[in-house]
Amino acid sequence: MSKRENEIKWDKLDNTAHLFPVIAGESMSNVYRISVTLHEKILPGYLQEALDKVLPWFDVFRVRLRKGVFWYYFEDNKKPAPRVMEERTYPNQFISPNKNNNYLFRVSYYRKRINLEVFHVLTDGMGAINFLRELTYQYLRLVHPELLEIVPDALCSDTSLNKEDSYVRNYKKSHAKGYKTRRAYLIKGEKLRPLELGVIHGYMPVEQLKAAAQKYQLSINEYLVAVFFWSVWQECLHCVPKGRPISVAVPVNLRPYYHSITTKNFFVMVSAVFEPTKENYTFEEIAAITAESLRSQINPEHLEHLFAYNVSNEKNLMLRAVPLFVKNIAIKSVYQTSALANSTTITNIGSIQVREEYQPYVDKFHAFLSMSKGQSIKGCICSYQGTLVFTFSSTLTDVSIQRAFFRRLAREGVEVEIETNGVYDEKM
């Protein structure tokens, strides 16, 4: 091996990623899952071979996390790919930087499903979809070599490997802080056992959802947030104002606004807010409040405002010289305040596209989130070939919100098929 090949390369964390190593731990993993289900049982040997082949293409995933004097940073990870394991534990558990061959993601399988779990410090949902798609394509080429007659045994030409920090690249000027500090209504209740995570998938036809949303002049995303507001208002507040707003954090993918193709994190959080001030709200009223709240925030000017404050702190010469342990105290303090400003998070990673040659082998996709401070229930949306999946993940034993959510959709004419990971089988 030449001296050049033996050199260890390093890379900065993107602007959002600086938060995750500071707050992550066993009780708050900051790990999310995206999975693909095929029409056939997974063969683990081929899945491991596929991971071994694909990982070297993706520099964003082929790293380990290191602690410097002033910042955390990534270092090139030259260890073998992590071992593919059959799923035997609850999902989205903490990925220790000192285990798993120092990688910050894991790949597992269960029957026909391939799971990719990612520590958010690496990338957001768009970057993870990129990686999972290529892993799946490579796996299918190994299991079905006849595919090589119609597709090359290589990375797809439209798969991005770009790893710029698009926050810094698109930063223009400093703004006042963009995060919320007013405390929201927090959804509480009896908890499941430690590390246990309840997962409920609701499968729905996209066209039926679109028709239901259009009755209220809403997008599908706005409509689903409104249904969540309605469910909490009915089941938790029992139609009585509690003095705090119900607030839903909604991640917004910034790539379309800035023509970015980065595979690192590039999103900001906006918050849909419903603050009850009376005892009787129609769903139409909640729908209108939801639309106004989201539309007033999802525009280029406001989105830039949200990330510019954080980038300005990173660029501040005086702050850059502050030792990491002091930065960590400040970051934790800011997080503690801002985290309690939201009741939950609902994220939509969009419609997942699969190349035509591989579509006969792919059945469906799922995505869901781990819990964070003050948020014991979260929602995640993705769709594939006309079916949308809304997935609730929760550490609460009670499922009244989830039940009310799906029943509301059913009353609106949306056909809903429910699937769980077994934690809530008797409750749904």
Instruction: Band the pLDDT of 4: cuts 50, 70, 90.
Output: very low
Q: Which residue has the higher pLDDT, 76 or 240?
A: 76
- At 179, is the pLDDT very low, low, confident or very high (cuts 50, 70, 90)? low
Cα angle for residues 229, 372, 315 (degrees, 5° grid) = 110
Least confident of 2-11, 266-275, 354-363, 415-424: 2-11
pLDDT, average across residues 312-318:
69
Q: Is the pLDDT of residue 324 over 90?
A: no
Identify the pLDDT of residue 344. 97
Q: How confident is the model at residue 3 (pLDDT cuts 50, 70, 90)?
A: very low
Tens digit of pLDDT for each residue in 112-154? 999 999 999 999 999 999 999 999 999 999 999 999 999 999 9
Per-residue confidence (pLDDT) for residue 308, from 0 to 100: 85
Average pLDDT in the 223-234 region? Answer: 97
Q: Could you give phi then psi for residue 236, rounded to 5 degrees?
A: -105, -45
* pLDDT, tens digit, 9 for 90 and up, residues 22-81: 999 998 999 999 999 999 999 999 999 999 999 999 999 999 999 998 889 999 999 999
Give residue-wise pLDDT tens across range 246-256: 999 999 999 99
Amino acid at 403: R
Higher pLDDT, 317 or 4: 317
Element (H, E) at 169: helix 166-169
Q: Counting Cβ atoms within 10 Å, is residue 159 exposed (0-12), middle (13-18) or buried (19+)?
A: middle
* Dihedral angle sign, alpha carbons of residues 177, 181, 184, 186: positive
**Confidence label for 338 from pLDDT (cuts 50, 70 and 90):** confident
Distance from C-alpha of 39 to C-alpha of 143, rounded to nearest angstrom? 13
Residue 158 has pLDDT above 80, yes or no: yes
Structure tokens at 323: 């030792």
Does residue 180 register a pLDDT over 80? Answer: no
pLDDT at residue 19, rounded to an integer: 92
- Secondary structure class of 375 (helix, strand, coil): strand
The 8-class DSSP code of residue 93 comes to -
